[in-house]
Structures are given as C-alpha cells and as structure tokens.
Structure 1
Amino acid sequence: MSELAGKVALVTGGSRGIGAAVSKRLAADGASVALTYHRDAERAEKIATEITADGGTALALKADSADADALRAAVDHTAEVFGGLDILVNNAGVLPWGPLESVTTEELDRALAVNARGPFLAAQAASAYMGSGGRIISIGTCVTERVSSPGMTLYAMTKAALTGMTKGLARDLGGQGITAVLVQPGPTDTEMNPAKGPGGEMQAGMTAVGRYGTPEEIATTVAHLAGEGGRFITGTAIAVDGGFMV
C-alpha cells in the first residue's frame, strides 16, 4: 500500500503496544515515521529497524511526553529531517491505577503532564508545520465513557481532557484543512493491559465480542483516519472497543 506515500508522521510513544503498531502501519502505507520513546532506546530502535527492513523510513527520538521542551524538539526535528509534518498521533500515555486515597500529587502531575498537557503541546507544535490535509489523531480510552472498576479516577480524568482538546482543535484548525480525531480503544492486549493479566478476563467479558482487541486493530483505524478516509472526519471520537461501551 502507498496511500500515505510522501507523508510524514510523528507517533509519540511509538516504541511499544498501540504506538508500535501504528508506527509500523503508517510506514507500511508509505509514510516516513518518527517515533518517540521515553526510556527504552533499544526497543525504539528495534521498531525503527523493522520498519526500515520492510522498505520503510523511520526515526527513533528520545522524548518524554512530560517534558515540554523535549516534545517540541521532537516535533521540530521530525519536520527538519523529513521536510515537513503531515500526521501527528498522540499515543504516549501513562495508566495510573489504584485507590483514590493513595494518589499522590506527584502521580497526579505526571499523569496530567503525559496524558493531557503532552498531546496539547504536540498538537500546538505540529500544527505549525501542517498544511491542508494535516491530521492530528489522539489515542484516548473507552474508560472515559465507562469506568468499569474502582481505582481509575485519575486515568479517566486525564484522558477525558482529550475530548475537549479534539473538539477545540477541529474548530481552530479546520479552516486550514487540518482535522482532529480521537480514537477510543477498548481493552487492548498490550504490556500496559495484557489480556492474560489481572482483570483481563473480566474486561474481555464486558465487550460485546467477548475478547480483547489487538494493537493492529487500533492501528487500522488510525491509518484510515490518516489517509483519504479521514478527510471529512473531525472533532469527534471513534470507539474501537469491541462494543465495550454498548
């Protein structure tokens, strides 16, 4: 496939899970892809190498999404190396999970920084490079619509911010031909929330299809939105959740 040939994409948190699947899929569809990582340089380089081995173009960049300067630098470097930026996928996130009374101020601040402030800053920086046809796609969670168990208040709150951000971006950038869409995955089999981990069976049972999704299934929707299929979709959320919110 080459629908995205000539396009440049930046995927935050692109070294594992949904981010890695999105990075690979966008590259397979023809885009040059930069992917950010926080700590594991070896894993990020492995994803970039796999993309290159399959005939794509990829660049791994160290950037903690809680670090405003590093995040902006990653956007600037991507545009400098590849000659522009067409697609931003706000994927990096943290999953704080525990009793409400145990949440510390430090945990609160980091969750807000990564899950809410980071996507805003990345979108702000990336939009300056985008022309008509630009895409800002953020990865949220079905938990903002259906909090299925105790202990998820902080996660749900920080991810819910992406709804307002996406609607605002659609209005702010629509006149420039840039779209903004929020993808809401359901239970997805990643290291962060493995299908065989604690609570996995319960989460699978809460979907209409009775199973976890795969990162590749989320990536398929992202690729559709990044391509011609996303031209008239903006300011909205799309659930890819196996019926979790039904």
Structure 2
Amino acid sequence: MSSVAGKTVVITGSSRGVGADTAKILAGEGANVVVNYRQKAPRANKVVKDITEAGGAAIAVQADMTDVESLRGLLQAGVDEFGGVDILILNASGGMESGMGEDYALRLNRDAQNDALTEGLKVLPEGGRVVFVTSHQAHFINDVETMPEYEAVAKSKRAGEDTLTARVPEMSERGVSFVVVSADMIEGTVTATLLNRARPGALEERRESAGKLYSVNEFAQEIAKMVSADVETGHVELVGGAEDFLAQAGK
C-alpha cells in the first residue's frame, strides 16, 4: 500500500489508549481520521482537538459497535466528511466490563467485528485495508492457556479473528486486504489494569516472561505501520513478546 497521506481511516474505540494514539500517529502522517467513541464524548473530542491543533484532520463520531445502524453511521460519517473511507482499524474490544451481560464479550469481539467488516466493505475502495487488533493471549488461546479471568475474552477475540479471516477471499474479491496485529499485554490499557486488579501481579508475570511489555504508544506505532505495510492479505503481525507464546504453541 502507499502512504496514508490523504486517506481516510476509521478507528473503532479510539477515544483513549491504543486507539487514540494510533489516530494521532496516522493523522500526523497526513491521514483523515474518524475517532470513534461509545460513551465518552469529551475524551474523543480531546483526541480530535489534539489532532487538529497539530494541523491534522479528524472528527469524533459516537457509535456502539454492537449496533449495526450505529456502525453504518460511523462509516457514513467518514464518507460524508472526507469523501470516502480507505482504511478500517478494528481496535475496539472488551468483555471484562461489569453489567454488560454474559454474552457481551462474544457480541463485541466476534459479532460486532463481523458486522463492522460487512459495513466496511460497502464503502472501502479497491486498495483499501482492514486491520484487526488483538492480543497474544487471544491469538494463541487455542494452543496456550491464559489467565482464567481473561479466558472468555480471549476466546471471543480469537473467534472474532477467525470469523474475519474466513472472509479474506470475500475481501480479496473486492480488492481489500486484511491484516491482524497482535501484541502482549500493554502497559496502561484498561484490560491490563482490570486483569491486574483481578489477579494481582499478572502484569509483572507477563513482563518477566516477555522481557518487556509495550507501552500504549509503542503498540500504536506498530498498528500504524501495518496500515500501509507491504504484506500479503491475511498477514498476522506479532509484536512484543511473542517468542514464549510461539514456543508454548510449538510453532
């Protein structure tokens, strides 16, 4: 793929954390960015403000990933504001939140990702790209055990990855490429914080096993690279601490 300059990127779950940093990085490279949030408008507006004050182009759009009409509106906002959508980064995920229902992890991490791809393919042009963001704990869950507190989320994330990967032929027919970017636990993210709260010492254990855990910005840099990286469709980019997962999986 060519540079992201002048292209429009929709990033789900980008009002904070990895998504927000990815938005700022890509905007800094000349992309138009649609910053998505579910509830916290002030956070998303702050990301947009940071981008525009730095000379970039961005808008904030509310959308609940688990609502198809909402997803459709998110993508249409990119079309209306910037004339089209070239790249869809599926960054939003969850499942450890309380009060969202027992099936929330699957609805968000599998079903909503599939719906987002369906809606995305309606607007993405030939040469477009979809990037799915995941974790090693999820990517390797079929071969490597994870913490019990995270198992349901990991399985739902892997189900989402498998569902999207199965649609690579469909994407290819439309000239759209697909890339997965996976990292170990990320310092400072909501998921890492919740896991460490549920299992004190979890972060330190992973830090020791991996040697180093990526910061939010370091992972965002890797995602931004894969937006325009010259890789085959279906490529899985493993970043930060994958060696012990590969060894345990016998790969």
Short-chain TM bin: 0.7 to 0.9
Structure 2 counterparts to residues 19-168 of structure 1, below 5 A: 19-96=19-96, 107-144=101-138, 145=140, 146-168=144-166
Structure 2 counterparts to residues 192-203 of structure 1, below 5 A: 192=190, 193-194=192-193, 198=200, 199-203=202-206
**Structure 1's 178 and 33: CA in aligned 2 closer, same or farther, altered over 3 A?**
same
- Partner secondary structure for residue 21 of structure 2: helix
| Distance of 2:26 and 2:82 partners within structure 1 | 15
Q: 1:28 is matched by which residue type in structure 2?
A: G
Contact 1:108 1:154 in 2 (8 A): no
Root-mean-square deviation (CA, aligned residues, Å) is 2.2
* CA positional deviation for 1:196: 7.9
Q: 1:219 is matched by which residue type in structure 2?
A: A
- What number of residue pairs does the alignment pair up? 235
Counterpart in 2 of 1:213?
Answer: 214
The 4+ residue runs of structure 1 with deviation greater than 6 A are none
The one-character-per-residue Cα deviations of 1:67-109 (angstroms, maximum 9, x if unpaired) are 2221121111211211000000001111428xxxxx99x6332
- Partner secondary structure for residue 23 of structure 1: helix
* CA positional deviation for 1:22: 1.0
- Partner secondary structure for residue 118 of structure 1: helix
- Partner secondary structure for residue 129 of structure 1: coil
- Partner secondary structure for residue 151 of structure 1: helix
Query: Percent identity between the aligned chains?
Result: 28
Contact 2:110 2:161 in 1 (8 A): no
| Distance of 1:55 and 1:226 partners within structure 2 | 21
Give ranges in structure 2 of 5+ residues lacking alignment: 247-251
| Distance of 2:118 and 2:54 partners within structure 1 | 32
Contact 2:10 2:75 in 1 (8 A): yes
- Partner secondary structure for residue 180 of structure 2: strand
* CA positional deviation for 1:119: 1.4
* CA positional deviation for 1:66: 1.8
Contact 2:33 2:57 in 1 (8 A): yes
* CA positional deviation for 1:236: 3.0
Counterpart in 1 of 2:249?
Answer: none
Q: 1:169 is matched by which residue type in structure 2?
A: R
* CA positional deviation for 1:165: 2.6
The one-character-per-residue Cα deviations of 1:36-75 (angstroms, maximum 9, x if unpaired) are 1111111110011001111110111111212222112111
Counterpart in 2 of 1:189?
Answer: 187
Counterpart in 1 of 2:236?
Answer: 237
* CA positional deviation for 1:9: 0.4
- Partner secondary structure for residue 5 of structure 1: coil
Give ranges in structure 1 of 5+ residues lacking alignment: 98-102
Q: TM-score, normalised by structure 2?
A: 0.86
